[in-house]
């Protein structure tokens, strides 16, 4: 696709498609496959248990692709937070050129990345947060609508409004994220002002995705109603796959006055990781977006990216262009 060049030129990629960071999913296998398909693959830093392990994963990815790939670093509050500064050092010293940041207060880390000459894409779920990130000097923003997997924020604004507002408000170029999984979504994102898209859930359901085949099949069988919103009462909303565990969490919250300690045993990261390892979709909570309703196969990343780009080009150059009727000039 040559319709928009801002993102592709800046990142050195062929197509305006970025694979979002995903815990337990963003490994070298998936990142390299997306990059080899012409998009930008992303290793998820905190999937690796230590900064040194991240260095090794980056080095492994470099043996699997000669094309650009990035690293996602999500900063979240925790009783015992990971050594974020050390992960930043590992990313910089590994020669990564593009980083996706997300979460709370990335300012100090963004400053270090920028000093190292790294392109920073920061993910936001609200325009006010995007304006703050813009002041930090990020290069791109990823605007994450209510449809997205993971944490959609507390405003509940979907992408038709959020992206149009971003186009009116922001001076930094942005990507569209959340609810995108096919050519129509790509074309719509570009029409709404985005320079490209950021996809997570759709890339989970590809041949190269490092999750159990049973979970991929579960995604294919699901529809747009197959997600649940947890932690609403804790003001830390998370969109996850609707299963026995997430439904139990929601029921506990409905009783009133629920605290995180009441559900901690249900939502542990290790239980979520085991879902992808053992293939039991009800073992723990795992993130998924409403784009589940658009996923009906398990293609390679190459096939997925190619058909999305070709389909978007056809929509833009034929369907949309054909809707423009020039008035006949008066004699």
What is the domain partition of the chain in residue ranges? 6-211+297-319, 227-278
Q: What separation in angstroms does the CA of 144 have from each of 137, 159, 194, 198? A: 19, 7, 12, 9
Token couple for 276: 């992808």
pLDDT given at position 328: 67
Between the alpha carbon of residue 158 and those of residues 179, 228, 287, the distances in Å are 9, 16, 18
Q: What is the pLDDT along the chain (331 residues), one digit of tens a residue?
A: 444 589 999 999 999 999 999 999 999 999 999 999 999 999 999 999 999 999 999 999 999 999 999 999 999 877 789 999 999 999 999 999 999 999 988 899 999 999 999 999 999 999 999 999 999 999 999 999 999 999 999 999 999 999 999 999 999 999 999 999 999 999 999 999 999 999 999 999 999 999 999 999 999 999 999 999 999 999 999 999 999 999 999 999 999 999 999 999 999 999 999 999 999 999 999 999 999 999 999 999 999 999 999 999 999 999 998 898 877 666 5
| Contacts made by residues 183-187, CB under 8 angstroms, sequence distance 24+ | 183/307, 183/308, 183/309, 183/310, 183/311, 183/312, 183/314, 183/315, 184/311, 184/312, 184/315, 185/291, 185/294, 186/16, 186/17, 186/308, 186/309, 186/311, 186/312, 187/311, 187/312, 187/315, 187/316, 187/320
pTM for this structure? 0.95
> Bridge-partner residues for 119, per DSSP?
98
CATH topology assigned to domain 6-211+297-319: TIM Barrel (3.20.20)
Q: How many CB atoms lie within 10 A of CB 116?
A: 16
| CB contact at 8 A, 127 and 165 | yes
């Amino acid at each position: 696709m040559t319709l928009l060049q801002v993102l592709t030129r800046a990142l050195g990629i062929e197509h305006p498609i970025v694979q979002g960071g995903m815990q337990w999913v963003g490994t070298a296998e998936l990142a390299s496959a997306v990059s080899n398909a012409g998009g930008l693959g992303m290793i998820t830093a905190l999937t690796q248990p230590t900064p040194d392990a991240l260095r090794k994963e980056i080095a492994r990815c470099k043996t699997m692709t000669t094309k650009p790939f990035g690293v996602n670093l999500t900063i979240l509050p925790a009783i015992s937070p990971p050594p974020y500064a050390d992960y930043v050092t590992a990313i910089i010293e590994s020669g990564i050129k593009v980083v996706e940041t997300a979460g709370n207060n990335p300012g100090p880390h963004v400053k270090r990345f920028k000093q190292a000459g790294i392109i920073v894409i920061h993910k936001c779920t609200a325009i006010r947060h995007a304006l703050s990130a813009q002041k930090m000097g990020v290069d791109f923003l990823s605007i994450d609508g209510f449809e997205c997997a993971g944490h959609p924020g507390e405003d509940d604004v979907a992408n038709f409004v959020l992206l149009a507002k971003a186009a009116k408000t922001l001076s930094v170029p942005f990507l569209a994220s959340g609810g995108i999984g096919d050519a129509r979504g790509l074309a719509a994102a570009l029409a709404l002002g985005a320079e490209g898209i950021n996809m997570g859930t759709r890339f989970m359901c590809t041949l190269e995705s490092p999750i159990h085949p049973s979970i991929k099949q579960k995604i294919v069988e699901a529809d747009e109603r197959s997600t649940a919103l947890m932690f609403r009462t804790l003001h830390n909303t998370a969109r996850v796959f609707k299963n026995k565990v997430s439904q139990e969490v929601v029921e506990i919250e409905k009783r009133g006055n629920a605290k995180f300690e009441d559900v901690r045993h249900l939502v542990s990261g290790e239980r979520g990781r085991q879902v992808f390892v053992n293939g039991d979709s009800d073992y723990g909570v795992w993130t998924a977006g409403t784009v589940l309703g658009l996923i009906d196969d398990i293609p390679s990343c190459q096939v997925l990216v190619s058909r999305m780009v070709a389909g978007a080009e056809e929509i833009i150059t034929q369907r949309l262009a054909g809707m423009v009727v020039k008035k006949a000039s008066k004699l």
